[in-house]
Amino acid sequence: MSTRSKPSNKVEAVLTYLQHRLPAYPFDAKIDQDFVEELVDDFGGVDVLEEIKNFRWFNDSKPVSHLRSVRLALRRWIGNSRKRKTS
């Protein structure tokens, strides 16, 4: 359970995108609320929503159901994007 009191607009935008725009994403309101808040906190210098869009289009907008763990794949993608931008 999240200890944060009020979700940010960034978090809400990412949650909406995951739920409605990422094909076959296994959206779960409880899990994804904490997941997205953690992404936004951990990768403060990265536009998380933009990176999720990049992830989608890099995969040619194919359903993410072929991935074993889509949340892990997204986290790695965003982490790698931060590395690419700082190198």
Which residues form the domain of 36? 9-86
**Selection from 78, 86, 81 nearest residue 39 by Cα:** 78
Q: pLDDT for 72-81, tens place per residue?
A: 999 999 999 9
What is the tens place of the pLDDT at every residue in 34-66? 999 999 999 999 999 999 999 999 988 788 888
In a domain, 75, yes or no: yes
Number of domains in the chain: 1
Quick check: 49 and 13 in contact, CB under 8 A? yes
pTM recorded for the entire structure: 0.85
The answer to whether position 1 is within a domain reads no
Establish if 62 belongs to a structural domain.
yes
Is the confidence at residue 6, as pLDDT, over 70? no
Asked if the structure places residue 70 within a domain, the reply is yes
What whole-number distance in Å separates Cα of residue 35 and Cα of residue 56?
A: 18
C-alpha to C-alpha distances, 46 to 7, 31, 63, 79, 80, nearest whole angstrom: 17, 21, 24, 9, 11
Are 40 and 15 in contact, with CB atoms under 8 Å apart? no
